[in-house]
Structure 1
Amino acid sequence: MLSALGIFQRATADQLWRMLRPADRHDRCTRDTLKVLEKTGLVREETRLESGHKLWVLTEKGHKEAKTLLPKSVRISALRKPRVDAEGRPVKDVGYDEHAAAVTSTAAVLTGAGYGTPLSWQTEIAHRLPYGYTQHADLTMRAPDAGVPAMLLEVDRVNEPVDDLVDKLRRYHDWFELLAPKADANKEKAARRQGAAVHEFRLWSRIYPATGREGYVPVAFVFTGKTEAQRASRMRRLEQAARAYFAGTPYPWAGFTAVDYHQAVPVVVTELERITAHPAGAAGRVWRRLGRDEWQTLPEALDNPDGERLYRVELREARRRQAEREAAHREAQRPVCTQCGAKFTDERWQQIRQSSWHGERDGLCGPCAKEAADRAEAERVARRQAEEADRAAAEAAAVKPRSRFSIRRRR
């Protein structure tokens, strides 16, 4: 209990029940525990919300105790001291308290749905930008066992301009693109063409774990308050105005429908009222990825079925079609035997192309060329044999011995 209040600074008994004891049928045990802690001076009631719930915070004594209970890796929230006016009367900051309650409720319903534990959350984490602005996240969640290694959450009570929400997303995008210390800017620029490789040079990868998906750490906008129609209108306006930061970039090659999300911010939206009304809570189909129409579970909404997986499928298909076109073109160029009309085999075609001596048999296929060669060889052998026979006959006639009769006649 003290650890949860140390992280979230303030919470109602209902929120602590949903976060710490979701298996209980009601929050009675949680309320009893808070009363005991109040008597021991560890917690105090800060105010009562419009919903009727008491908002509990740590006292100075409780804050010190919570600090000893939390791991060093978890940042404890600032001590919430009682606020009084000039006359010493308590001052009620309704707007701030309602926003803080909505932030804690968001963490409570997500934790109750299995997204981490109270120690998985941190509030008001600073993201400092080089132009002098610091973007604070209402919540940061780390729930790797639930398939969400990291996520930033912004809670909106439908009481600030949509342009402010777009500016928050723009600043997150700017922060995600910051170079890590000592990172080579030239290598980072070259790595932008290599998909996920670019993140090795970015600052965010040194602070947050790898998401296991394309893109930067996802950002969730949780809307609550006003009417359902007003919340729906707000989500549509945010989707239209912030498209440049979450839409990704289509791959430039013809025939590809996949989208490159490697340098985009995955943005999901939901409503606190939708989560609490769904039987499965935050584990149900209560999340919508900006750029899509359907409501999905959180892992489904964060997935990119039209991203790199589709790109690899389309790339294999494109290479297959290219190979078919090249094969068809090659087949169209394949020579045909001038004697029998048969197409050259690859071996025969390669033999002709590699030969530096061209002759009359280049237009013949392998078998016809062999027959022509055999025929030419037989003709050559026959000519040689005939020439040898003629020569032998001539030589025989030249060395024929003279008879005695021819000698007497000459005398």
Structure 2
Amino acid sequence: MLPHGDPGPYAHPRTGRTLTYPARRPGETEDTVPADLTPDPAREHQAARDRRPSDDVDQVQAPSTGPSIAPSTATSPAGDVSAGQPRKSRGRDAFDNPPRSTQVWKPTGVRRKEVLKALGIFQRATADQLWRMLRPSDRHDRMTRDTLNALKGSGLVRVETRLESGHQLWVLTEKGHKEAKLLLPKNVRMSALRKLEFDDEGRPVEADGYDEHAAAVTSTAAVLTGAGYGTPLSWQTEIAYRLPYGYTQYADLTMRAPDAGVPAMLLEVDRVTEPVDDLVDKLRRYSDWFELLAPKADANKERAARGAAVHDFRLWSRIYPPTGREGYVPVASVFTGKTAAQRESRMRRLEQAARTYFAGASYPGRSAGITAVDYHRAVPVVVAELERITADPAGAAGAVWRRLGREEWQTLPEALDNPDGDRLYAAQWKEARDRRAEREAAEREAKRPVCARCGAKFSDERWQQVRQSSWPGKWDDLCGECAKESVARAEAERAAQRLAEDVAATAAEPETLRVRGLFRRRG
């Protein structure tokens, strides 16, 4: 909202910077964009005049309301530019959003509800942010602004202030707050109402509580939603995580986007203003919260659990769905502001100081060549830069995320994945097992006995037979075949010996009988 009185130079109530707004045209109101952003209709592109509205918007042939439908962003009429993509420099006649068109879009009830619910969650947002969050497929934010103006006419929303960027900041009225609360699911946290304040003369006082951090938080949710990570209902702000030592950690954003491969993620937006130690403390507190036992969980069983089984005993698993990967719910730090070099330095310092919480532990067996990492009790931490996201053609869906502990920039699912975790451990463990089996087999072969007669190696059966024998055998130094031959030869020799003894005994028997008969006759 512009200051009361004639437009012109004035001091911004929060920053103290001197701003200048151009004089209004006849019929122009305070809720319109500055006149210098309005393109010349005489030079507007023909393709922009002929563009048809989207299917969920009613078209009404009526005179234009003038500058109130002028765009807040400039995009090319020649090609689609989705929300979250970088803007390119173009002339003032290159707007997609013709201000003097004879077509006026009548917002539908669907769009009205979308805006009300989004403001119910995020409390305050610009038309640009709502466009990128709710309708990234739209070519510009015109229909979003028309929806806001329609809701303003119904007394459901109002303009809280105009930002230094020229964007109007929209909030819910008390009436709109009640209606948004009815529209939102019960499990979605409703933001607090921004009440309108008045000065001593009864005039509305321009709010000054909106800071750059709040803007960055909403912009982060907008670009992620525009890239396909959930819907506005996927987000919650300022969720409290209470710790047993009396501290409560608040997350700037909580995202649920299971369809995009991210069942849950906590986001912290940092404008490079607080000490790195504070960021490390946040990760420590998140780690402490993830380790809290669930009510009635058995502490002894939790201590004995290994791998992913440990999470079944933790409090966080009662609140958030399984991540689909090793580790706790991931935490993303989105940096914005200052210079690229300062942001890079900040990410590096955070990486060095917070390694305890995200690095994971080594699996046993490093001597066997196992380098895999056990991430089951680690906090996956990814970092991004809002400037990098908005500059990438794919927005937040591009390779604009970096997992702390890695060097390359990846897409979010790639950064959250653990190729060096359980999958690598299973492969390396199998390789180590195979190598050990080969080594043991080679050592066993080296110890395999050789037949003293033929020089052949013992078979497994013969070797086992010799090893199981209680007493040293006569032919233990012979292989199975040679031992059989020796046994057969010995049996044959014993049989021949027995036969010879029997023959000799038979030959000696008649002489004995003759002697006995002689003595009988003499008696």
Match of 1:333 among 447, 460, 464: 447
Is structure 2 residue 319 aligned with structure 1 residue 207? yes
Is structure 2 residue 315 aligned with structure 1 residue 220? no
SS in 1 for 2:476: helix
Amino acid at match of 1:219: V
User: Does the Cα contact within 8 Å between 1:85 and 1:91 map onto a contact in 2?
Assistant: no
Q: What is the Cα deviation at residue 342 of structure 1? A: 1.3
Is structure 2 residue 124 aligned with structure 1 residue 4? no
Q: What is the Cα deviation at residue 350 of structure 1? A: 0.9
Matched with 1:93 is 208
Moved more, 40-49 or 21-30: 40-49
Amino acid at match of 2:352: Q
1:144–1:232 CA distance, 2 compared to 1 (3 A): same
SS in 2 for 1:239: helix
Is structure 2 residue 172 aligned with structure 1 residue 37? no
Q: What is the Cα deviation at residue 158 of structure 1? A: 1.2
Q: What is the Cα deviation at residue 84 of structure 1? A: 6.1
Q: What is the Cα deviation at residue 92 of structure 1? A: 4.0
Q: What is the Cα deviation at residue 385 of structure 1? A: 0.6
Is structure 2 residue 185 aligned with structure 1 residue 64? no
- State the distance in 2 between where 1:225 and 1:3 align: 28
Which consecutive unaligned segments of at least 5 residues does structure 2 have? 1-114
User: Does the Cα contact within 8 Å between 1:153 and 1:219 map onto a contact in 2?
Assistant: yes
1:402–1:252 CA distance, 2 compared to 1 (3 A): closer
Is structure 2 residue 476 aligned with structure 1 residue 375? no
Matched with 1:389 is 503
Structure-to-structure mapping, 1:262-273, within 5 angstroms: 262-273=376-387
Matched with 2:354 is 242
Q: What is the Cα deviation at residue 186 of structure 1? A: 1.4
User: Does the Cα contact within 8 Å between 1:150 and 1:218 map onto a contact in 2?
Assistant: yes
Q: What is the Cα deviation at residue 41 of structure 1? A: 1.0
Cα deviation digits, residues 251-283 of structure 1 (max 9, x gap): 232121111111110000101111111100000
Q: What is the Cα deviation at residue 75 of structure 1? A: 1.6
Q: What is the Cα deviation at residue 187 of structure 1? A: 1.3
- State the distance in 1 between where 2:278 and 2:189 align: 27
Is structure 2 residue 341 aligned with structure 1 residue 229? yes
Structure-to-structure mapping, 1:116-195, within 5 angstroms: 116-191=230-305, 194-195=306-307
Match of 1:111 among 200, 222, 225: 225
Q: What is the Cα deviation at residue 76 of structure 1? A: 1.2
Amino acid at match of 1:42: L
Match of 1:299 among 413, 421, 430: 413
Match of 1:22 among 125, 129, 136: 136
Matched with 1:345 is 459
- State the distance in 2 between where 1:234 and 1:190 align: 38
Cα deviation digits, residues 207-236 of structure 1 (max 9, x gap): 011000010000000111111111111111
Aligned residue pairs, count: 404
Matched with 1:358 is 472
Identity, % of aligned positions: 79
Runs of 4+ in 1 over 4 A off after TM superposition: 83-89, 400-404
TM value normalised by structure 1:
0.94
Whichever structure has more helix as a proportion of its residues is: 1
Matched with 1:313 is 427
TM value normalised by structure 2:
0.74
SS in 1 for 2:484: helix
- State the distance in 1 between where 2:288 and 2:264 align: 18
Cα deviation digits, residues 303-330 of structure 1 (max 9, x gap): 0111111011110011111111211221
User: Does the Cα contact within 8 Å between 1:213 and 1:304 map onto a contact in 2?
Assistant: yes
Matched with 2:403 is 289
Amino acid at match of 2:349: R
Which consecutive unaligned segments of at least 5 residues does structure 1 have? 405-409
Amino acid at match of 2:354: A
Matched with 1:274 is 388
Amino acid at match of 1:292: R
- State the distance in 2 between where 1:226 and 1:373 align: 94
CA RMSD of aligned residues (A): 2.0
User: Does the Cα contact within 8 Å between 1:44 and 1:57 map onto a contact in 2?
Assistant: yes
SS in 1 for 2:182: helix
Cα deviation digits, residues 159-181 of structure 1 (max 9, x gap): 11111111111100110011111
Cα deviation digits, residues 346-391 of structure 1 (max 9, x gap): 1011111222243211111100100000000000110011011111
SS in 1 for 2:475: helix
Amino acid at match of 1:242: A
User: Does the Cα contact within 8 Å between 2:160 and 2:206 map onto a contact in 1?
Assistant: no
Amino acid at match of 1:196: A
- State the distance in 1 between where 2:268 and 2:474 align: 81
Q: What is the Cα deviation at residue 115 of structure 1? A: 0.6
- State the distance in 2 between where 1:129 and 1:402 align: 117
User: Does the Cα contact within 8 Å between 2:162 and 2:168 map onto a contact in 1?
Assistant: yes
- State the distance in 2 between where 1:87 and 1:332 align: 102
- State the distance in 1 between where 2:293 and 2:373 align: 24
Moved more, 245-254 or 128-137: 245-254
User: Does the Cα contact within 8 Å between 2:161 and 2:206 map onto a contact in 1?
Assistant: no
Is structure 2 residue 308 aligned with structure 1 residue 196? yes
- State the distance in 1 between where 2:322 and 2:447 align: 51
Matched with 1:407 is none
User: Does the Cα contact within 8 Å between 1:49 and 1:98 map onto a contact in 2?
Assistant: no
Cα deviation digits, residues 109-161 of structure 1 (max 9, x gap): 11111111111111111100000000011111110110000000001111111
- State the distance in 2 between where 1:222 and 1:179 align: 29
Q: What is the Cα deviation at residue 401 of structure 1? A: 8.7
Q: What is the Cα deviation at residue 83 of structure 1? A: 5.0
Amino acid at match of 1:143: A
Q: What is the Cα deviation at residue 85 of structure 1? A: 7.3
- State the distance in 2 between where 1:86 and 1:247 align: 57
SS in 1 for 2:376: coil
- State the distance in 2 between where 1:240 and 1:28 align: 45
